[in-house]
Amino acid sequence: MRGPSPKQGFVQILKAAGLAALLLLGLAAAPARAAEASPGPPYIVIDADTGAVLASDNPNHPWYPASVTKAMTAYMVFQALAEGRLQENQKVTISAKAASQPPGKLGLGAGTKVSVKLLLEAMIVRSANDAAVALAEAVSGSEAAFATAMTRQAQKLRMSQTVFSNASGLPDPAQVTTARDLAMLARALMKDFPDRFGLFSKTHVVFGGQSRPTIMSWLGAYKGAIGIKTGFTCGSGYNLLAAAERDGRRLIGVVLGARTSGQRNTLMRKVMDIAFSQPADTSGALLVAALRGSPRIMTPYVLPAGTCAAGISPGTEMMAKGELPGWGLVFGSFISKAEASARIAENREALKKVVNAGKPTIVARTSIATHRYSALLVGLEPDDAGSACRHLQSLGVYCLAVPPKLLNNPQALWR
């Protein structure tokens, strides 16, 4: 008789450790029964060198990345440095927009000139939002253009369910990712920029004559920790993209949506310890790049009301007049109407044999960071919406199925 699979055994150990009841998160604006049925936080652990999935739970569930976004911003900056489009000692003039970013930040004044090297260190070590925006503008000219480039690069890295709207991870309902995609990102950072990955384990940054410690609590919380990034917003909860090395073996872990940083680190320690205890031979294991499966619920969670209220996306306006009918499919947020329209056309073509119904719709949204356009297909039946999204996701295409109540709610998370 066969014993439990590695994943089944892993889940059994977690339950025995009392982790199965951790951190149940409710869905804002959803009925109470949906919150009661909500799963625990998504997580995944992979072998960094082989990409083998050692453990996971709901790794394809959409989530807000928060400041873990800065790991992707770093990837883009590393790429620009490698291609000679930026130099480490190059001075970047801090714009009024960068200077006006909310904390955490260094407090850089508009017009200040700061090196790319210092901005990188400040963004990674201190999670400085002003540094992230300044780097985005240095690479692409504007944060909006940089966010578009981030999303395109994410697709190249096969981060199939990720959309970026800004460089810092500040709240933007259009900016979503998954535990699986973040694990793919960390592996790409290790593989593509091994000479720069050490920045994620720096314990301090010197600025203004003062040494400022890292906010990456994982580095001191786990034996063998080597980075890489934490994140928190009211919408995301406490996120952690982590890496650790023991006896020459490197693992990458992702935990999304913890209630506190302590709970986040505790869960990560548990799953990392169990993964390190498994055999190093991962031949025949499922690879993270091949990991498929639909999320249990198609909409990202936020922490329940009273803990952190979900913010309204400023300046929301619909190009289409009146109430949007039926269920809708959200295909992402784009920098221009033309790009949004093109994505709708591409996805409708891909759905020809699955769903022929639906009305193409573009929703314009002006946020603090950028003016963007969400691409939708509306007027669908619930079953058709679910089938369509599953089909697109099987092709590696980003898709969210949204019920009528959330489709027409000006505070809905997808906006």
Q: Which residues are annotated as catalytic?
A: 67, 70, 127
Distance CA 177, CA 329 (A): 17
Return the H-helix or E-strand segment holding 252. strand 249-258
**Interaxial angle between packed helices 116-126 and 69-82, expressed in degrees from 0 to 180 and rounded to the nearest 10:** 160
CA distances from 145 to 46, 167, 196, 204 (A): 32, 10, 24, 30
Question: CA torsion sign, 79 to 82 to 85 to 88?
Answer: positive
Burial class (CB in 10 A: 0-12, 13-18, 19+), 322: exposed
Convert 218-240 to b/e letters by CB count within 10 Å (16 or more is b). Answer: bbebbeebbbbbbbbbbbbbbbb
184: amino acid identity, one letter: M
Our measurement of the distance from residue 255's CA atom to the centroid of its chain's CA atoms, rounded to an integer in Å, reads: 11
Query: Among 69, 80, 257, which Cα is nearest to 164's?
Result: 69
Altogether, the residues listed in the chain come to a count of: 415
Beta strands in 11-125 (DSSP E): 43-47, 53-57, 91-93, 113-115
Find the DSSP H helices in 86-128. 96-99, 116-126
Burial class from Cβ neighbours inside 10 Å (0-12, 13-18, 19+) for residue 339 reads: middle
Place of tokens 């944060």: 143
